[in-house]
Structure 1
Amino acid sequence: MSNNEIQSRLDFAKKLVEEAGKKALSFFHCINELEIQQKSIQDYVSNADLEVEIFIREHISNRYPDDGIVGEEHENFEGVSGYTWVIDPIDGTTNFLTEIPSWCVVLACVHENETKLGAVYEPCHNELFWGSQGKGAFINDEPMGVSKSKSLNDGSTGVGMNSRTSSRMTVSFIQKLIERGGIFYRNASGALMLSYVASGRLIGYAEPHMNAWDCLAGQLLIKEAGGIIEVQDANEMLKSGGRVIASGPGVFDEILEIANKAYV
């Protein structure tokens, strides 16, 4: 692995998520024409998700044919280069399908058990969150930094949930957060909320289980923006997902403590 290999993939990823986001946005403006299927409770997929992921996969395969690919909507491709791309074509599909402008296209790249780069593009507001390991994190062309808050009542904490874990865990987390003076925020796009932590809009984020395509990019951005994440092996996350706790340094211990008590 060389810095040039990472930089070329980062430049490629930034351009690709923007192009994919514009493609997704064209579907967003024609919601009534989409074909929609329900995968599980509060988990939907449309032909927009499927086609945007295919678009991303084709571009990766053409540029880096030896790289692996893991995506939410299609079969994994085992590469031989040691690099694996992780795709969520539309994170926040429920928002997307109900015309709420709070969704994003997500792309990360993993090498040797570590996430090396991440790009999250929110087309409705034309915001690109991006970064690479050891090189910082940015929103469009401006450096990002996590919140400097030292108290939970200084800002909002993002809270994620899904049908893979018991809802009582999330209810318990929210209750304990409120009891400590915190405010919870949820917009149904975990990747976007993690990006908001990286940019300082949210002071932290917690979810009992996330899939790799939802969280790897955002976790990298938070770390590069000066935040703290609960450490996980990226390859293990690719296999089965896991718990995600992340925030600025001033509130991480308290959010982790609440999560440890709530997520049981």
Structure 2
Amino acid sequence: MASQTSRLDMRFILAQAMAKEAGKVALDYFNRRETLVIETKRDLQDVVSVADREVENLIRARVAEANPHDGFLGEEYGLMEGTSGYTWVVDPIDGTSPFVNGMPNWCVSIAVLHGGRPVIGVIYAPCFNELYAAASGKGATLDGKALSLDPARTIHNSVTGIGANNYVTPAFVGKMVEDLLEAGGNFIRNGSGALMLAYVAAGRLVGYYEPYMHAWDCMAGFCLIEESGGYYHPFDVSGDNLTKGAPVLATGPGAKDDLIKIAGL
């Protein structure tokens, strides 16, 4: 029987290959996005297209072929329970709004959970041809180059990513921004929480905070950040919590205390 390590290795190789394959399909749709029929979900800002669904179906099919007993949670088609102890958590296109509006800030996000924690995190940004990849105990890389976070980077000398959606009130978001600015920080929002989490792992952002986020948006980023030497606030995936949203905070070591205070976590 394959060892636990080789099981992880095989899935890690698969996740990277799928991210690239799925990204190629998504990029083809992006380059002819004027042909897409755009639908809305919760509100007019929450959009989806056939590209999201086709990319998720592709990844689901590849996982089912290689690891038929694994669980799978995708943004578009929900949770399928497995029996292997491994669960794939996938956002086929994170940043659909930038995607359909012709901006490059979107990505394919693929995570694998085992024992309630993310043990694989792969994020591929097709417009930039950047592959972020991490597995438990194996470190994190960007296009094969090892990532290691610098503790000298703080909210005062770096930029923090923030996210917001209609699950939280405008007043809450406004207070979040106000608190960050009053603490001496600054912020950016690019429309893709998963990609901004990858930027935290790469040291481009010193942290990322979003008051309400789903597992498919953040699990891959969590693995990347942990393996690059950063911190993320625990996200409960027990029971049906895996399909529910929660606050997301992830930081480099030099911003942890300040951002925990600002987020009130």
TM-score with structure 2 setting the length: 0.95
Give yes or no for the alignment of 1:246 onto 2:250: yes
User: 2:58 and 2:255 mapped to 1: Cα distance?
Assistant: 39
Out of 24, 27, 30, the residue aligned to residue 29 of structure 2 is 27
Cα 1:207–1:75 change in 2 (3 A) is closer
Count of aligned pairs between the two proteins:
261
- Checking the alignment, whether the CA contact within 8 Å between 1:216 and 1:234 is kept in structure 2 is no
- Could you give the per-residue CA deviations for residues 142-198 of structure 1, whole angstroms, max 9, x where no partner exists? 001224335322110000111112222221111111112211110010000000000
Conservation of the 8 A alpha-carbon contact between 2:75 and 2:90: yes
Whether the 8 Å contact between 1:155 and 1:203 is mirrored in structure 2 is yes
Whole-angstrom CA distance in 1 between matches of 2:262 and 2:236: 23
Structure 2: how far apart are the matches of 1:145 and 1:170? 30
Instruction: Find the counterpart in structure 1 of residue 208 from structure 2.
Output: 205
Determine if the alignment matches structure 1 residue 226 to structure 2 residue 249.
Answer: no
Runs of 5+ unmatched residues, structure 2: none
Comparing 15-24 with 1-10, greater Cα deviation is found at: 1-10
Which residue of the partner structure matches residue 17 of structure 2? 15
1:17 deviates by: 0.5
Residue number in structure 2 paired with 1:181: 184
Partners of 1:149 and 1:248 within 8 A in 2: no
1:78 alignment counterpart: 81
- Secondary structure of 2:54's aligned partner: helix
Q: Deviations over 1:201-248 (max 9, x none)?
A: 001111111100000010111111000111233346513121111111
Cα distance in structure 1, aligned partners of 2:118 and 2:78:
20
Code of the residue aligned with 2:7 in structure 1: it is E
RMSD: 1.3
- In structure 1, runs of 5+ residues without a counterpart are none
2:175 maps to which of 168, 172, 177? 172
- Paired residue for 2:261? 257
Tell me the CA shift for residue 85 of structure 1: 0.6
Can you list the C-alpha shifts for 1:26-83, whole angstroms capped at 9, x where unaligned?
A: 0000011101101023110000001111111111111111111100001321111111
AA aligned to 2:249 is I
**TM value normalised by structure 1:** 0.95
SS at match of 1:131: strand
Indicate the residue corresponding to 1:60 in structure 2: 63
**1:124 counterpart residue number:** 127
> Partners in 2 of 1:52 and 1:150 — Cα distance?
36
Q: CA deviation at 1:11?
A: 0.4
4+ long deviations beyond 6 Å: none
> What amino acid is the match of 2:114?
H
